[in-house]
Structure 1
């Protein structure tokens, strides 16, 4: 991520990840110790649009019939999808973007909204509530938006790689595998826009892509300050003991 150094803002976007300033994700991580605390399901994207949501859902059992570990993973994903969806909504509503960046934000924002809908439908009353967010002005200019979006998407790709091996249910695993390339396309798209034809940052920087483990992600997210309050899961969900936020 060294190519991102020139795009830093007051938020350390080079190390940005879905975050946990009040310890909610750290608390939730303890519920998946049997999964060897491998990577957090980051940044994630399940489908490409609202029509695809309904095509995906029948193949994934509702949370009541899933192993608790898979429910916890889905709630991690939902928390991070809330993050991305809120980030793009704020950017779209703010009016600071134009041209390619505006199109990127609208398209990817719609994807993230679809991911939220699909995960909430699957989790039912076990779904974690929507947190509150404060994006620290990163959506108020094209440069800070692009730098933040790039890291959100790139780290989401890495986290899905690390989490896939922890999923026990075939249908959930297949859904996760369908998410991973969507996030990779998002990451390549924003890198291409930022590079403006120069090749730096590269949309495809290496032949192999590293995964991110949970400990690395949790360490990275602690200081971002983007998450202002954490919701509770409705029924024995992955995250508890934090102030509920409506949504």
Structure 2
């Protein structure tokens, strides 16, 4: 697989400036700051509509109830992405063998449940579901496995990165209940890929900036 979804390829030297902060500026300013216009990291304006709105400002390091809403919508958008990826892979019926197809079916149900949990917590404040195009990553076995691994790693890193910023105890409980399952998914996909399911002693959390840069870089969000 190419560098698609390779988190390590993003913002190695800090060249991608505060992605989430830039959402409060014009789209032209955002593209200028991130280099997205020339690097092809963003598909049209869908990222703003489906990923960064309605909480235009970046998640704060100062916990508050308002900040919790931003964190939950950030998590919800990631769960929308994951759920759609697995559901579409199951519907395509192109993945060979029970090990892989069973993984896709079980994780599709989990991610869909995560979406519904976050929507129930957010109520009317929940962002809308974006539209996605996963291309051949849902039909090509090697690309499916590689994409699944990075999506799960991204989810784990994103939840870990926001844990310290959560203000309300019920939100902490909801986030932790999802975070541990995402970690199980990450181990599972490695195991059926013939890899070490627990390759590191500790996992590095990812900031909102890092995660959003990686997600927009996939080109999967189309509207």
Partner of 1:12: 4
Partner of 1:56: none
Partner of 1:218: 212
Matched, 1:187 2:186: yes
Partner of 2:60: 34
Partner of 2:79: 81
Distance 1:223 1:96 in 2: 25
Is this contact kept in 2: 1:20–1:221, CA < 8 A?
A: no
Q: List alignment gaps of at least 5 residues for structure 2.
A: 11-40
CA shift digits 1:19-42 (9 cap, x unpaired):
964342456674235337xxxxxx
Q: Which runs of 4+ in 1 moved over 6 A?
A: none
Distance 1:166 1:96, change over 3 A: same
CA shift digits 1:199-240 (9 cap, x unpaired):
xx32101111111111222222333210011xxxxxxxxxxx
- Which structure has more relative contact order (CA 8 Å, sep 6+)? It is 1
TM-score normalised to the size of structure 2?
A: 0.76
TM-score normalised to the size of structure 1?
A: 0.69
Aligned-CA RMSD value:
2.4
Q: List alignment gaps of at least 5 residues for structure 1.
A: 1-7, 37-65, 196-200, 230-247
Partner of 1:101: 100
Distance 1:33 1:78, change over 3 A: closer
Partner of 2:166: 167
Distance 1:92 1:130, change over 3 A: same
Q: 1:66-215 counterparts in 2 under 5 A?
A: 67-97=65-95, 98-195=97-194, 201-215=195-209
Is this contact kept in 2: 1:20–1:26, CA < 8 A?
A: no
CA shift digits 1:132-158 (9 cap, x unpaired):
000021101211111100100012111
Distance 2:181 2:70 in 1: 22
Q: 1:222-233 counterparts in 2 under 5 A?
A: 222-229=216-223
* Number of corresponding residues: 187
Is this contact kept in 2: 1:74–1:119, CA < 8 A?
A: yes
1:108: Cα distance to partner? 0.5
